[in-house]
């Protein structure tokens, strides 16, 4: 995944609580396992009428939000099933950051593993950001991962918390597997000093 440092961009507001993963990406789009081209399916049932035409009353169909990279939404975003496709769909739609008062736990883990940053802020702060964004006049934010800060043209708005391990992953652009492989020399050195009497998980010649 790409390294994440600061995301500066247009905000879009989805003023709904308890948006579950089936609403983010409906089940009919789960037949594939690749990560590409899910953007048009994101929020499919809300975005499109039965004939496939965009619904003008759905917030994110407003041209004022075109090109938005920061989604500001309600509490418990990403609840429901564990489908990783939900994160792929949001990323495919162009979002790099989702700001909400709370998230589904599995959605949070899936987001971090795929380079989408979930930023949890106090309810009142999110409400103010959402209200400001719904004016649809091009409101922008900067989400600074290194300093764990959200700011706009007026200056800092709020700090946010992120697990240090995931912060390092995102800043370096490496998923957990890549992070482990980066320690290959240290792992090999540890294994070289490991007492022979300790149990092993492989048998000699098993993989040769």
Sequence-ordered strand ranges (E) for 66-166: 70-73, 97-100, 117-120, 140-144, 149-152, 155-159
Q: What is the pLDDT of residue 74?
A: 98
Q: Which residue has the higher pLDDT, 181 or 22?
A: 22
Q: Does residue 169 sit in helix, strand or coil?
A: helix
The two structure tokens encoding residue 6 = 């600061």
Answer yes or no: is pLDDT of 64 > 60: yes
Q: Does residue 155 sit in helix, strand or coil?
A: strand
Q: Which residue has the higher pLDDT, 60 or 176?
A: 60
The closest of 1, 29, 6, 19 to 146, measured between CA atoms, is 6
Angle between helices 105-113 and 164-172 (to 10 degrees): 30
The span from the CA of 186 to the CA of 169, in Å, is 18
The two structure tokens encoding residue 154 = 């007026």
Residue for token pair 């992070």: 179
pLDDT band at 43 (very low <50, low <70, confident <90, very high): very high
Give the CA diameter of the chain.
69
Answer yes or no: is pLDDT of 157 > 60: yes
Answer yes or no: is pLDDT of 109 > 80: yes
Q: Are strands 149-152 and 140-144 parallel, antiparallel or unpaired?
A: antiparallel
The span from the CA of 24 to the CA of 89, in Å, is 7
Compute the half-sphere exposure of residue 2: CA atoms within 13 Å on the CB side of its CA: 8
Domains of the chain: 6-192 (3.20.19.10)
Q: Are strands 97-100 and 70-73 parallel, antiparallel or unpaired?
A: parallel
Q: Report the side by side order of strands in the sheet with 97-100.
A: 117-120, 97-100, 70-73, 6-14, 140-144, 149-152, 155-159
Q: What is the pLDDT of residue 85?
A: 96
């Amino acid at each position: 995944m790409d390294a994440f440092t600061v995301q500066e961009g247009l905000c879009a507001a989805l003023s709904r609580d308890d948006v579950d993963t089936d609403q983010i990406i409906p089940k009919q789009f789960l037949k594939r396992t690749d990560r590409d081209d899910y953007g048009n399916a994101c929020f499919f049932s809300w975005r499109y009428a039965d004939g496939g035409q965009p619904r003008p009353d759905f917030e994110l169909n407003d041209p004022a939000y075109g090109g938005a990279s920061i989604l500001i939404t309600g509490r418990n975003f990403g609840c429901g099933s564990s489908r990783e496709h939900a994160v792929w769909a949001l990323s495919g739609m162009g979002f790099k950051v989702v700001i909400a008062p709370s998230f589904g736990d599995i959605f949070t883990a899936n987001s971090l593993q795929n380079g989408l940053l979930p930023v949890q802020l106090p309810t009142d702060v999110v409400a103010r950001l959402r209200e400001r964004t719904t004016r649809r006049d091009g409101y922008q934010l900067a989400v600074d991962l290194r300093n764990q800060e959200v700011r706009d043209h007026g200056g800092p708005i709020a700090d946010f918390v992120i697990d240090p391990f995931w912060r390092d992953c995102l800043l370096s652009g490496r998923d957990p597997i890549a992070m482990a492989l980066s320690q290959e020399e240290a792992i090999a050195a540890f294994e070289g000093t490991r007492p022979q009497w300790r149990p092993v998980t492989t048998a000699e010649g098993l993989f040769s």
